[in-house]
Structure 1
Amino acid sequence: MSQTLFTPTKHEKHCPQCGEILQLKQGKKGLFFGCSAYPKCNYLQPLQTPHESKIIKPLTELCPECGQLLVLRQGHFGMFIGCSGYPHCHFIVHDTPTEQAIPKEITCPDCRQGLLVPRRGRQGKIFYGCDHYPKCKFTLPSQPFSITCPQCKCPVCVEKKAAVYQCVNKQCKHLFNHL
């Protein structure tokens, strides 16, 4: 066998902006090439392609824009329904909240200035947080209700089971029935 097959070779990549050598670096989203002249040059080159959505299941409905089949996809922010003709057709089915799903205006029990609003997390799951974020970082995993806790008088509770509520006050966490 030839020895040239097993000899390591060094490939240097150069920054297209300033011409310096690119270095392999570790970031919170994984490995990437960064310019060795940082902070004068802030050029970055990802090693991986951006996260694409995966097709989970083809559906029987047709796209209203192009007529191709719709598919259930798993994307960066959770599951969604989109056109199978992507990237030529960008149709996505957006879930519209119903009147019952939209909570009434509930004041944040932590800062008492902001309102609790629904937000979508990294995995696509809905949670509720104060609209004065980042000043107030209060969050709830489920929908808040404007029901006063009988033990500590906190004005906000979350439903644990049917007609069983829990106080959102971290010192209380009282479970009670509400009729």
Structure 2
Amino acid sequence: MSKPLFQYTKQEESCPQCGSPLQIKQGKKGPFFGCSAYPHCDFIKPLHNQNESGIIRLLEQHCPECDHPLALKQGQFGIFIGCSAYPDCRFIVHEREDNATEGEAVICPACAKSEMVARRGRQGKYFYACRRFPHCKFTLPSQPYAQDCPYCGYRVAMLKKQKETRRIWQCANKSCRRLFETE
């Protein structure tokens, strides 16, 4: 029994760009191979082959943009419904639609070129931002409404309280933020 049961074999891959050995490194999405000559060489390779999303099941509904069937998919952030023709069609069914009570889109007060849409932040909470992001970075913590502020004349407000006969609003202007009522 002079031979060990397991023999260590070193497998070393070399960088296809510069020839330096590759190292296993840790990133925010998990381990990956990276060039040991970094920052002079920026080659990276995934440790595991990961698909962007895997199809769990095809659904009977069709995509409103390209008429391909919709699919139930598993992605990086969980299960979602999207078009089966990805990457040609990038349609995704969102959990929460914009549901303004007046049925009208609120125009962004900062750029006045696009409407405000619901977005989900890093912590999973919804906020409202201009559709032209990153060109316009205006955001609000709650749903905007086309309601004029009587104090500063700003055209957008957020609903704070709603009672049977009146509503309490907060001005969306960051320099005003005053509360006012309407019936």
- Look up the match of 1:33: 33
C-alpha RMSD of matched pairs (Å): 4.5
Structure 2 Cα separation of the partners of residues 130 and 41 of structure 1: 37
SS in 1 for 2:5: helix
> Deviation per CA, 1:127-156, whole angstroms, max 9, x where unpaired?
31484746x644124432232445676543
Separation in structure 2 between the aligned mates of residue 62 and residue 153 of structure 1, nearest angstrom: 45
| Residues 1:107 and 2:125 are matched in the alignment | no
Q: Does 1:10 align with 2:10?
A: yes
Matched residue, 1:166: 170
- TM-score w.r.t. the length of structure 1 is 0.60
Whether contact under 8 Å (1:146, 1:156) holds in the other structure is yes
SS at match of 2:53: coil
Letter of the structure 2 residue corresponding to residue 26 of structure 1: Q
In the alignment, residue 118 of structure 1 is paired with which amino acid? Answer: V
1:118 aligns with 2:122: no
Contact 1:21-1:36 within 8 A present in 2 as well:
yes
Aligned length, in residue pairs: 168
Change (3 A) 1:127 1:106: closer
CA drift of 1:13 comes to 1.7
| Equivalent residue number for residue 53 of structure 2 | 52
Match of 1:178 in 2: 182
**TM-score normalised according to structure 2 size:** 0.59
Q: Is the 8 A contact 1:164 1:177 kept in 2?
A: yes
CA distance in 2, matches of 1:132, 1:71: 28
Task: Measure the CA separation in 2 of the matches of 1:93 and 1:42.
Answer: 33
Q: Percent identity?
A: 36
